[in-house]
Structure 1
């Protein structure tokens, strides 16, 4: 097997040489190469390089899948070959004009929410752990009952599980300001203003123990604890306002006047215009989400489990972040997670069948690690490196995802958090043993159906020869 330096040289050569590469960056699994002329790149040659699990051209980039860990090392070697490295922000800037308006909007939406997700993942894990340690069966092992739990311990767990959602508007506004070129610290302050204790608490209003303030006789003003869209739109407008003001305000007054005007104008707009309007929009999105999840006879699982990975290919799957955040904030559990997990696990099952059935060493070396990656929640290697290349395994994976999602929907299981799936996702179900078992069965159905169909109908080595 070639070492990483040789692989880097081969990738550069197949991409059309150093002179054809504008810049290179990487994400968690893929090397992202900006090309001057995409026609000079030989994607088939790239796919034959050691450690490459797939390659395709999308969103204005040549994307080469290496998998987690490996991609970092290959990137380092590529940048040593006199190829200009670029930050993720620079590559995102170059690709902003790629795709249609909806795809660009969703891509920007993802740029805002991806940095926030780790905090929400941790919060979900804390919720699961709290559910585990407060189970009567677990407490009984230590001679305790739920009444034995000290109030201070409950308070401590509430700090761990509630803080991220209470101050979610601050996180969203911070990230939005950062993405749209504003000062992140102003985003944080505006987001904190949206959840100021001087405003009626959103959860108290929802529970009926508080009433909104009324300005000018018709504008309801409330706190926005746990809200997303008001902070997101406020962040976009605020960042653009700041950039505009900095061009007009004299340099000598910029330090004082610009932040003063941004905070004054934006909190006024946020409380009296953006907040009330987009709170209604957010409520509508939530109602639509609940309606889909509550479809009878397991239809929601069939639809989401069956189509989620198709949506991933289009690159607009980040919209699910908003839906999952809303579910966690308003309901306290995430019914999307098991449906998405089924879709991801099934693509892993299909890739596993290809790897085990194939007698070609190259295919085994590609498919088996790709399946493992899918079981850890990352499907790009399995989709682009194996299943989609031969199409039938991908379709069998979609069927497996629909089957697993159907079971999850019928049994009404839900996660305590978001953003982790399949094997890591078990951590989101440890708080309740019945959910843990049902989640296990969901994965087994998805993997088993996809594996069996792919083995029987989805792949033969003749397809490899034809390819």
Structure 2
């Protein structure tokens, strides 16, 4: 894959355009100096690349799939990456911190950061979770065949050999709070081992054993009966924190600011000793007495809401979950729901969300199968490779990211068809009474089907979702007529280098460019395309940029952003730009500016193009 690594670097603008690089479970995450120079078509055509996703703030993601770690290493091993003096091998945390420092990430940056925090707290342990889910599936299969008893009930007396196999998945899920605490603490800039140690306190066998202490007593808190023990006169709530994820997330959310504050207050030469010590001195009792119980109750509250909906109408619940997930996953909202699933298993002994969730997953995989069929029929080599990898990751691993980011979010026609598959599968599950349960957290794939009860109903529901989504994509196609014609022409070798073919996906931004000396032409009648207000703003912005004579080029690189090249950045008046109504102004590099215009970037680019055309640059 070394050739592919070099091709990816070249297609995103070369090593000099890469500010930093990290990766998640399936994607390379580039922070670029200038994302407008990325050749998206070339990226998508590279062998091993399953697709690409442009993002705000000069960020660009390349979907690789399961081989992402290898490609990441190969890119960092390239001579030009190794010699560029940093950036390529930064951690994901460093990458995102640098990205935030460059400028605004949008109107709801705090929400973006929150979901990023959730994602990065779980992402590094996805492999362990996936491996554990396959052990669970094996135990479920043995239980279904009658080889063993109820493996999920701790009261079941399993033979030692089967107990050992059961421990193989419990080692992940029981100690999941420690893993989450480590990742979450690292994410917020604290010592991850301090976060681990703080969470380890409430997971000590002796801590949970205090429930049997002669000094323990019962109380009702928030409608729940809990066990308390007085510690120096202060009541301590005793919980079993195994598999809990809300407490470590809450703990890390407090530890991060505290750690930074202590590093600010304590002299550098003694920080190594006193920052961890004081952090633990504060966080250990704070987590045990306050944050841990709050996390438990918060998770229980959300779980109770979902359980109430499920008990009120399993039919409605079986439909809502599959229809909601296609919108929740891209936003990162599925992470809190995953935490609720784990909580359900701990408190109820089973989970009722994963069954309906499986309907969404298989509708997603079915749409990918439809795309694969069309790609094979039309001899689209690149899409066939993308869809094949995404489908394998889905059906065997239960991972939807390659399908979602590599295909579905790139083509607007897929989502409505996918949602019909979700609806049909949810209706079947709902008509069947809903209430499809599993005794453990699993990734919903072909391999984990035996982990669910009501096996017939679950299989019928996910099968219907898969088939309906696949047939709809095959019948209606996932491409517009123009995209289909281009794909066929490309497959036949008819697209020539000079042909101004349309972008392959609906989300690609069309750029309007005006360069010095007439390199870019303005529309024949720009006033017909833009309003008087937009023309007035364009005049104000040009003046604040140092005048038309200081502007070399203007591009609309996204729906909300203009890319402006100037001759002398010293002449740019940022205050005047902002007072002229610009939501954001960012200098990306010397002579290169990005103007966040709010909406209709192409309209503003057209207006500025006309004015630059009327007064050519450079004499």
Verify same fold: TM over 0.5.
Answer: yes
Deviations 1:124-173 (A, max 9, x none): 54444444445573369xxxxxx996665676567556555554443333
Q: 382, 390, 399: which is aligned to 1:378? A: 399
Instruction: Give, in angstroms, the shift of residue 357 of structure 1.
Output: 3.3
User: Counterpart in 1 of 2:542?
Assistant: none
* Higher-Rg member (1/2): 2
User: Counterpart in 2 of 1:178?
Assistant: 186
Q: 446, 453, 468: which is aligned to 1:449? A: 468
Q: 1:295 to 1:456 in 2, by over 3 A?
A: farther
Q: State the structure with bigger RCO (CA 8 A, min sep 6), 1 or 2.
A: 1
User: Counterpart in 2 of 1:440?
Assistant: 459
Q: 147, 157, 166: which is aligned to 1:138? A: 147
Confirm or deny: 8 A CA contact 1:335 1:413 kept in the other structure: yes
- Segments of structure 2 that go 5 or more residues without pairing to the other structure are 82-86, 150-154, 213-217, 487-503, 505-619
Confirm or deny: 8 A CA contact 1:289 1:323 kept in the other structure: no
Q: 409, 412, 415: which is aligned to 2:438? A: 415
Confirm or deny: 8 A CA contact 1:106 1:319 kept in the other structure: no
Structure 1 stretch displaced more, 283-292 or 196-205:
196-205
Q: Which has the higher helix share?
A: 1
Distance in 2 separating the partners of 1:32 and 1:129: 35
Q: How many residues align?
A: 454
Deviations 1:238-269 (A, max 9, x none): 34323433443456655554444322221222
Distance in 2 separating the partners of 1:293 and 1:115: 31
Instruction: Give, in angstroms, the shift of residue 196 of structure 1.
Output: 4.0
Deviations 1:154-196 (A, max 9, x none): 7656755655555444333333222222223322322122234
Does residue 399 of the first structure (1) align with residue 396 of the second (2)?
Answer: no
Q: Secondary structure at the match of 1:324?
A: helix
Does residue 360 of the first structure (1) align with residue 360 of the second (2)?
Answer: no
Confirm or deny: 8 A CA contact 1:202 1:223 kept in the other structure: no
Deviations 1:215-252 (A, max 9, x none): 79885522352333233222332343234334434566
Confirm or deny: 8 A CA contact 2:318 2:434 kept in the other structure: no
Q: After TM superposition, list the pairs within 5 Å mapping 1:274-293 onto structure 2.
A: 274-293=291-310
Q: Secondary structure at the match of 1:371?
A: helix
Confirm or deny: 8 A CA contact 1:54 1:384 kept in the other structure: yes
Distance in 1 separating the partners of 2:300 and 2:391: 38
Distance in 2 separating the partners of 1:383 and 1:252: 49
Q: 1:259 to 1:313 in 2, by over 3 A?
A: closer
Distance in 2 separating the partners of 1:129 and 1:235: 34
Structure 1 stretch displaced more, 309-318 or 113-122:
113-122
Q: Secondary structure at the match of 2:253?
A: helix
- The alignment yields a C-alpha RMSD, in angstroms, of 3.7
User: Counterpart in 2 of 1:106?
Assistant: 115
Confirm or deny: 8 A CA contact 1:201 1:210 kept in the other structure: no
Distance in 2 separating the partners of 1:446 and 1:217: 57
Q: Which has the higher strand share?
A: 2
Q: 29, 32, 35: which is aligned to 1:32? A: 29
Distance in 2 separating the partners of 1:242 and 1:74: 31
Alignment TM-score, normalising by the size of structure 1: 0.82
Q: 1:209 to 1:151 in 2, by over 3 A?
A: farther
